[in-house]
Amino acid sequence: MSEPPTTVRRLVEDIRPFDRQEDADRAAVLGWLNETDDVFRRAKPRTPPQHLVSYFLLVDPVGPQILLVDHRKSGLWLPAGGHVEPGESPVDTVRREVAEELGIAASFPAWLGEKAFFLTVTETVGDPSVRHVDVSLWFVLQGDRRQALTPDPGEFRAVRWWTPQEVTEADPAIFDPHLGRMLAKLAEAIPAQPGRETPAARS
């Protein structure tokens, strides 16, 4: 088996499932990896009909707050990310996409490093001729809501920092369907952070 699928297998095996759904998805993905050595999208939108995606959730641990993007094509508020290119590792996809989509360098948190944190398997919506299955590895990046971003206007209508409470109180239909589970898992895993000092507090 070629190196990229082997790398993907290691990332999937290292994920500790949060719930029964993630446990079932992890088992299904490991079975898929046993049956194929091509995990990449070769042609848009569905060749092959199941392929890899890397999501990354930019997290400011003070608060905490998360960055979501108002994605033009899907019409949803999502973590940023994209399809894993042929021969690319999912971690390198994160590095590439965060630079392309937000104009910053990837900063992986010390408590997790470059491991995938969450796994989802999702059939996309739309006409059957374009429908396919995204195997998505979700990564966590260290963020700071004060940092300057350069969002890609071709991809996003807007970007916004959200608190978990704001996500909970909003209509779930405007988000990725797995976001709530991701945030619940993150809440259990992320280390507690002290409040960020303001200039007034230091004076």
Residue 201 has pLDDT above 50, yes or no: no
Cα–Cα distance, 203 to 197 (Å, whole number): 10
Residue 96 vs residue 193, higher pLDDT: 96
pLDDT tens-digit readout, 183-200: 999 999 986 555 554 433
Domain locations along the chain? 3-190
Q: Is the pLDDT of residue 203 over 90?
A: no
> Tens digit of pLDDT for each residue in 8-46?
999 999 999 999 999 999 999 999 999 988 899 998 888
Q: Calculate mean pLDDT across residues 40-69.
A: 92
CATH code matching the domain that covers 3-190, chosen among 3.40.50.300, 3.90.79.10, 3.40.140.10, 3.40.50.970: 3.90.79.10
Which tens digit of pLDDT belongs to each residue from 103-157?
Answer: 999 999 999 999 999 999 998 877 777 888 999 999 999 999 999 999 999 999 9
pLDDT average, residue stretch 52-75? 94
Query: Nearest CA to 32 among 116, 113, 119?
Result: 119
Tokens standing for residue 100: 């392309």
| Percent of the chain surpassing pLDDT 70 | 92
* End-to-end alpha carbon distance in the chain: 60
Mean pLDDT, residues 165-178 taken together: 96
DSSP codes, 71-91: ETTT-SEE-EEEEPPTT--HH
The answer to whether 84 and 118 have CB atoms below 8 angstroms apart is: no
Q: DSSP string spanning 134-179?
A: EEEEEEEEE--TTS-----TTTEEEEEEE-HHHHHHS-GGGB-TTH
Query: What pLDDT is recorded for position 17?
Result: 97
* CB under 8 A, 24+ apart: contacts of 164-171: 164/64, 164/66, 167/66
